[in-house]
Amino acid sequence: MEKIKIFLVTIIIATVAWSCSEEKLNSESIFKDPDPALQTEFDKWLLENYTYPYNISFKYKMEDIETNMTYDVVPATTKNSIAIAKIVKHLWLEVYDDVAGVDFTKTYIPRVIHLVGSGAYNTNNTFLLGTAEGGLKVTLFRINDIDINNINADLLSEWYLQTMHHEFAHILHQTKNYPVEFKSISNNNYIGDDWSANSETLAIANQLGFVSRYARSEANEDFVEMIAIYVTKGQAKWNAILAQAGTSGAAIINQKLEIIKAYLRNSWNIELDELRRVFDFRALTLNLLDFSNL
């Protein structure tokens, strides 16, 4: 019996070796360009506005491989996907284009933007507005909740634009880290996941020198929340944060802000105030976008 086993193995090895020696590799790529006949007008628009200029794959048809199976979610509708694609381009990608140049945006922007129609709810009474994976993919949730006939700039900022600028700031500091003294400013007041406890209010966070409750989770989140909120909330809301923070809290926030401004200037040749100015200007022209048609 042992001889028969050896004989069979020998035949198999010989057959594989012969197959490999006779087979010729096909030089044609297995990755095909999308079939134009199967593309919708939106698919073509995404190629022209995301894939070709930025090398971004914009995924709005929910795929299992792109979705965290922990959450029970549904796909985004096409009409709302069109709206968010235009908004993200206008108030995220092109903001950095205007301030730092298209080459900068193309180099550091995530390679995949993935839309999910519903929210992703956690067990600690929080839900995800967006996630980022190693600077390669950003997922945005609650796309189906957009009312394209009544676009609310404040809601867009809170749900999507703050998230996008937040996640991009992560990419920047993961590429070139910020000064270590930033972490030491509030080192004793980071509380991890406890930031979401009902007792840890926004007022308390502000008074301790944080611009949001989530910023209290850890230093990296504190850093990117500062950038995202400063850029997307506008001066009036920023002033309201400082007012609620009081003298002590406002001093801490301003200390962090100066470090961030210097970091962006020295590491990326980006002026944070210019980034905010461009965002504000583009937000004023948001009503010029046609969210119903391509």
- CA–CA gap between residue 18 and residue 25 (Å, rounded): 14
Contact 42, 82 (CB under 8 A): yes
* Residue 134: count of CB within 10 angstroms of its CB: 9
Q: What is the pLDDT of residues 179-231, one digit of tens each?
A: 999 999 999 999 999 999 999 999 999 999 999 999 999 999 999 999 999 99
- Residue 101, SS3? coil
- CA–CA gap between residue 133 and residue 113 (Å, rounded): 11
pLDDT for position 89: 97
pLDDT for position 18: 38
pLDDT for position 192: 97
pLDDT for position 17: 40
36-288: in CATH 3.40.390.70: yes
Phi-psi region of 269 (alpha: psi -120 to 50; beta: other; left: phi over 0): left
pLDDT for position 24: 47
- CA–CA gap between residue 46 and residue 81 (Å, rounded): 11
pTM, entire model = 0.81
Which stretches of the chain drop beneath a pLDDT of 50? 1-32
pLDDT for position 72: 60
* Residue 185: count of CB within 10 angstroms of its CB: 16
